[in-house]
């Protein structure tokens, strides 16, 4: 009897263990091969306007139908389609996969950009390195005759007048948009008041810009997007972001609008200059150098151009810059009541004598014509 009981207990124990093993195996976390999942990847890192981009379907499970939405009003039912965008922008691309019982969707935001290589136009770095004694004119705050400062009309006027470069000031609005404005507030240059950072783009563009003589215009504060769209392939830009706008955001927008090789970034913050070059070694940055000590801090830095002050713009430091292959950028009639006419061209003649390369000025048309007369522009 005792043996029978032991035998029965052993049989029950083995049966229980077998059941545990069966339950453990059937309770695995591994997904069923019929579990539907939507997933896709993009064939290139940088999606450019006018260039075909492949979308790769990486979905799993039994799929009877796939529907692609490219975010620009077009769609496809192909397995892994290619698509070409005709305009830059941010597009939400989605892939919906279906079978008889399930439907899954995956989405990604695709940034579509313009190429930073512009057909028929050299880069700013190439332009600066090929001056060979010629001199460029940069319109300070996009100044033009009878136009407001930091205005779209001033940029367009500079393009029409064949000015080589415009300098513009960039700030950020409350909703993260980039606009042109030198001051932290809009009080001086518009019929509004308040800080740029306290307005959304829509709110700040309701105000109108004043001309220098106090005449109110119909012009609004332009966005940096508007400026890039108007300037691309037509004029170089000096972006003054010094204590005004975040470099990363301005850099990303310049890249998206195909302007990275057409602009230079200006700041007095030497650590930010190095951050810029660490981000993109090919970037044209414009450090401000006030004396020989500051010059020496950049002695081993990969620069194309330096901004000299009235103090550093002297024969010795110009020669040292030229020896390094740097061109010199300096102010000529900027933020002063002195004009070329009132000082009989003294300041521009000094610029010529010191062999500067880029003259930033509030009188771009006059300075350009003056340099042309001397076969220097």
In a domain, 8, yes or no: no
Q: Within this chain, do residues 97 and 167 fall inside the same structural domain, yes or no?
A: no
Spatial CA neighbour of 283 closest among 88, 89, 128, 111: 128
Please say which residue of 48, 78, 113 terminates a domain: 113
Residue reference for tokens 């695995």: 28
Residue reference for tokens 């959304």: 200
Q: Which positions of the chain have pLDDT values less than 70?
A: 1-33
DSSP string, 212-230: TTS-EEEEEPPBHHHHHHH
Residue reference for tokens 């061109």: 327
In a domain, 119, yes or no: no
pLDDT at 100: 87
Q: Within this chain, do residues 164 and 291 fall inside the same structural domain, yes or no?
A: yes
In a domain, 27, yes or no: no
Is the Cα dihedral 359, 182, 295, 334 positive or negative? positive
Q: Within this chain, do residues 133 and 164 fall inside the same structural domain, yes or no?
A: yes
Q: Within this chain, do residues 146 and 80 fall inside the same structural domain, yes or no?
A: no
pLDDT at 144: 86
Over residues 211-231, the pLDDT tens digits come to: 999 999 999 999 999 999 999
When divided into structural domains, the chain yields a total of: 2
DSSP three-state, residue 94: strand
Q: Within this chain, do residues 182 and 303 fall inside the same structural domain, yes or no?
A: yes
pLDDT at 32: 58
In a domain, 13, yes or no: no
Q: Within this chain, do residues 59 and 149 fall inside the same structural domain, yes or no?
A: no
Q: Within this chain, do residues 85 and 128 fall inside the same structural domain, yes or no?
A: no
CATH code for the domain of 109: 2.60.40.10
Over residues 178-211, the pLDDT tens digits come to: 999 999 999 999 999 999 999 999 999 999 999 9
In a domain, 12, yes or no: no
Q: Within this chain, do residues 366 and 219 fall inside the same structural domain, yes or no?
A: yes
Q: Within this chain, do residues 62 and 90 fall inside the same structural domain, yes or no?
A: yes
In a domain, 320, yes or no: yes
Q: Give 104's strand partners.
A: 97
Number of neighbouring beta carbons within 10 Å of residue 45: 5
pTM for the predicted model, two decimal places: 0.89
CATH code for the domain of 353: 3.20.20.190
Q: Which two tokens stand for residue 295?
A: 């010059």
Domain that holds residue 51: 40-113
CB distance 197 to 190 below 8 Å: no
Q: Within this chain, do residues 322 and 261 fall inside the same structural domain, yes or no?
A: yes
pLDDT at 29: 52
Q: Within this chain, do residues 274 and 134 fall inside the same structural domain, yes or no?
A: yes
Number of neighbouring beta carbons within 10 Å of residue 20: 10
Please say which residue of 113, 144, 169 terminates a domain: 113
In a domain, 318, yes or no: yes
CB distance 166 to 228 below 8 Å: no
User: How far apart, in whole angstroms, are the C-alpha atoms of residue 344 and residue 139?
Assistant: 20
Q: Within this chain, do residues 154 and 76 fall inside the same structural domain, yes or no?
A: no
Axis-axis angle for helices 346-353, 364-373 (nearest 10): 50
In a domain, 314, yes or no: yes
Please say which residue of 113, 136, 167 terminates a domain: 113
Spatial CA neighbour of 298 closest among 329, 321, 265: 321
């Amino acid at each position: 009897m005792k043996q029978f009981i032991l035998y029965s207990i052993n049989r029950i124990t083995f049966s229980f263990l077998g059941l545990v093993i069966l339950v453990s195996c059937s309770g695995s976390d591994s997904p069923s091969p019929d579990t539907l999942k939507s997933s896709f990847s993009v064939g290139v890192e940088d999606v450019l306007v006018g260039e075909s981009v492949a979308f790769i379907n990486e979905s799993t499970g039994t799929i009877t139908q796939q529907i692609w939405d490219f975010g620009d009003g077009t769609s496809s039912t192909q397995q892994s389609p290619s698509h070409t965008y005709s305009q830059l922008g941010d597009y939400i691309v989605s892939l919906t996969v279906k079978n008889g019982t399930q439907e899954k969707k995956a989405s990604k935001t695709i940034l579509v950009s313009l190429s930073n290589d512009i057909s028929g136009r050299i880069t700013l770095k190439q332009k600066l390195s090929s001056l060979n004694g010629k001199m460029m004119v940069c319109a300070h705050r996009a100044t033009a005759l009878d136009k407001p400062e930091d205005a779209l009309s001033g940029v367009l006027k500079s393009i029409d007048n064949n000015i080589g470069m415009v300098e513009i000031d960039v700030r950020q609005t409350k909703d993260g948009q980039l606009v042109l404005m030198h001051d932290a507030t809009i009080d001086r240059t518009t019929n509004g008041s308040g800080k740029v950072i306290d307005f959304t783009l829509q709110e700040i563009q309701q105000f109108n810009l004043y001309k220098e003589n106090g005449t109110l215009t119909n012009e609004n504060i332009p966005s940096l997007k508007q400026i890039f769209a108007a300037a691309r392939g037509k004029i170089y830009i000096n972006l003054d972001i010094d204590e005004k706008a975040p470099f990363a955001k301005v850099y990303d927008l310049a890249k998206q609008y195909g302007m990275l090789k057409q602009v230079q970034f200006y700041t007095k913050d030497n650590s930010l200059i190095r951050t810029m070059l660490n981000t993109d070694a090919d970037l044209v940055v414009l450090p401000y150098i006030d004396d020989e000590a500051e010059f020496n801090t950049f002695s081993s830095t990969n620069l194309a151009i330096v901004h000299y002050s009235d103090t550093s713009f002297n024969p010795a430091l110009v020669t040292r810059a030229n020896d390094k292959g740097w061109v010199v950028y300096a102010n000529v009639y900027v933020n002063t009541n002195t004009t070329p006419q009132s000082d009989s061209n003294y300041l521009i003649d000094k610029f010529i004598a010191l062999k500067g390369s880029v003259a930033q000025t509030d009188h771009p048309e006059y300075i350009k014509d003056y340099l042309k007369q001397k076969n220097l522009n």
